[in-house]
């Protein structure tokens, strides 16, 4: 969902100092968090899921499936928490 500001606030957000503050906050808080979540998803779900296509050992398959399950449960709970806010 995209939030669009009213026209009366556009002048405020176009100020140079406001843009610098927003960029600073993004670089300090949001960007590292998104980077961590991407790496967590990549190594916690995508990589084990791809490895399940090549491995035939049942014990290792169950380990990979369990890792995928727990990572997906984490992301589902994370989304659920965000929806409740």
Rounded to two decimals, the pTM is: 0.69
pLDDT digits 0-9 by tens, 3-57: 666 666 667 666 777 777 878 888 888 889 899 999 999 999 999 999 999 999 9
Residue 2 lies in a domain: no
Run of H or E including 52:
helix 47-52
Residue 4 lies in a domain: no
Count structural domains, the chain.
Answer: 1
Residue 1 lies in a domain: no
Half-sphere exposure of residue 55, counting CA atoms within 13 Å on the CB side?
A: 15
Residue 3 lies in a domain: no
């Amino acid at each position: 969902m995209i939030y669009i500001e009213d026209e009366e606030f556009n002048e405020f957000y176009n100020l140079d100092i406001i843009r610098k503050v927003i960029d600073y906050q993004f670089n300090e808080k949001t960007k590292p968090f998104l980077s961590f979540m991407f790496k967590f998803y990549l190594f916690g779900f995508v990589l084990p899921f791809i490895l399940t296509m090549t491995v035939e050992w049942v014990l290792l398959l169950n380990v990979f499936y369990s890792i995928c399950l727990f990572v997906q449960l984490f992301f589902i709970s994370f989304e659920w928490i965000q929806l409740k806010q």
